[in-house]
Amino acid sequence: MPAKDFIVRFLASGGFVSYVPARLTGFKKFTGSGMAGTLVALALVPLLPGDRLPFALFCLAFLPFSVWIADLAERSYGTHDDPRIVIDEIIGYWTAVAFMDHGLFNLVTAFVLFRALDTLKPWPIKKLETSLQGGFGIITDDVLAGLEANLLTRLAAALFL
């Protein structure tokens, strides 16, 4: 494998974490790689900038980077939105926890809601996933799922805390 493909796949797969569930289950679809990618995103939350402006700038820089990597990875794997590509789950989960306290309630609630929304793909998430192509299509539906999870997490915190 050329070095470029290795680096792209490493970044797109969350450090090859997305390969683990498929190896364990043997499934080609519904591998659990999205869950693995979201766990990577959760593990990286403490390393994200804590203040709003640096966090916003970081995410604004990571968003086009993730689109670019997802696009390159799609070409490298030769399939649209290959399950091994989980950089979309990473930016999606970071969107789900953006601009809120990173306490246990918010992190867990956002995790559960993001995974549910990313898996079930209610409208308009499914529409975005099917209508947009390349890396932009791979990333956009997860960012929207993250936005919805963020709003629902805030609602849950307001109701239950």
Domain spans of the chain, in order of start: 3-160
- Residue 30: is its pLDDT beyond 60? no
pLDDT given at position 81: 86
In angstroms, the CA 74 to CA 100 distance is 32
In angstroms, the CA 69 to CA 15 distance is 13
Q: Is 130 exposed, middle or buried (0-12, 13-18, 19+ CB in 10 A)?
A: exposed
In angstroms, the CA 125 to CA 73 distance is 21
In angstroms, the CA 102 to CA 123 distance is 28
- Check: CB of residue 41 under 8 Å from CB of residue 66: no
Percent of the chain predicted with pLDDT > 70: 96
Q: How confident is the model at residue 129 (pLDDT cuts 50, 70, 90)?
A: confident
- Residue 27: is its pLDDT beyond 80? no
Contacts of 17 (CB under 8 A, 6+ apart): 36, 37, 39, 40, 86
Output the six-digit token pair for 3. Answer: 């070095």
